[in-house]
Amino acid sequence: MADELPLLRAGESLILLGARALYWPARQALLIADLHLGKADVFRRAGIALPSGGTGEDLQRLQGLLDRHACRELWILGDILHGPAHRAAWYQQWLGWRERNAALDVHVLRGNHDRQLPHAQLQVQIHDEVRLGPFLLRHEPMPDAELHVIAGHLHPQVALPPLRRRFAAFWLRDRTTILPAFSAFTAGIVPAPVPGEQMIVCVQGGLVELPEA
């Protein structure tokens, strides 16, 4: 089971990564979606007991990808936050990670959870959507008449009943690529692909290609 898979989309060579990310070599850009910083903290503030450490583990995985690949840019396709940007432990972890990667251009596409993003002081560049070459980067995977859309938001997953669990997955559609949620602490949807679509499943850092529908 490989941890990387080459992919051609809109004439561009991309690499799917089993760590729930996409790498664009020509631009030296890493793309992820739905980081949901501080999600466990938001739940705990609501009285739901959850273990800490999720943000630190996600940032550690992210750092591993940046160390492995030549990256000038990081694009987060929405929902970098999960809720209000309380100055909890996750925020200090983020600032420490940002200081370590001060030369990295970090861009965030505003997502539905990012209402507090302009005030969060995360040291990122904020956009609603961005055109890069043949691609349109946005949070929600709404199709575009001209460009190939790369998005997040849906947290696609594949259910594997024999293992009694779901796995995050890339959902390859016509003129649309939907990334899995990068955060390990997320639920999601289990799509029913139509003919011509494909799911590529992230399993313990590796990738499993399912047949096209």
pLDDT in tens, 24-82: 999 999 999 999 887 655 544 544 445 555 788 999 999 999 999 999 999 999 888 86
pLDDT < 50 positions in the chain: 43-44, 46-49
Strands 165-173 and 157-160: antiparallel
Number of independent structural domains in the chain: 1
Supply the pLDDT for residue 187: 83
The CATH number for 58's domain is 3.60.21
Does this model's pTM top 0.85? yes
Note down the domain range covering 197: 4-209
| Sign of the CA dihedral with 57 first, then 58, 63, and 65 last | positive
